[in-house]
Structure 1
Amino acid sequence: MKNKENVTLDTFSVLNSAGWFLTIANIAGITQLPWANIGSYWLVLLLICLATAIIDPLVNKVGGHSAK
């Protein structure tokens, strides 16, 4: 399970880096994306973080009891 957690953190890091690249590239004029699309990307990333933060303790709690 520990390896699975590392993969999750790496995935989030890649998604976070992609979001920063989109934001900075749009400011610099490299991309021509609407700001609403970039804002939606960050909103979805935030919702994924919140869902993970809510679901993770519930899964660990259930997993902790069944492992005993």
Structure 2
Amino acid sequence: MKNKEISIDVFSVLTSAGWFLTIANIAGITQLPWANILGYWGALLGISVAMGILTAIIGMWTKGGDKGGEK
């Protein structure tokens, strides 16, 4: 049998939880204030922007995007 690698994307799970909170609040299942739900989405946005900036900075330091060689 081959080992199958299971990969869980944490950001996708957090986004799914956000959609559940939003839809559950619209449907009346939860009684959360909308400010809390917007804060959750804002935190996810902040995390994604910070990770994007860090990825760009690390890419510049390691020259990961430069595939050409100097001659």
TM-score of the superposed pair, with normalisation by structure 2: 0.73
1:11-30 aligned at under 5 Å gives the runs 11-30=10-29
Where structure 1 has 5 or more consecutive residues not aligned to the other structure, the ranges are 1-5
Higher helix proportion (structure 1 or 2)? 1
Q: Which residue of 2 aligns with 1:54?
A: 53
How far, CA to CA, are the matches of 2:52 and 2:46 in structure 1?
A: 10
1:48 and 1:15 map into 2 onto residues whose CA distance is 11
* Alpha-carbon shift at residue 62 of structure 1 (Å): 1.9
Point out where structure 2 has 5 or more consecutive residues left out of the alignment: 1-6, 65-71
The size of the alignment, in residue pairs, is: 58
Considering only CA atoms, is the larger Rg found in Structure 1 or Structure 2? 2
1:3 matched to which residue of 2? none
Moved over 6 A (4+): none
TM-align CA RMSD: 1.7
Q: State the identity %.
A: 59
Residue type at the aligned position of 1:43? G
User: Can you list the C-alpha shifts for 1:17-66, whole angstroms capped at 9, x where unaligned?
Assistant: 0000000000000000000000000000000111011110111222347x
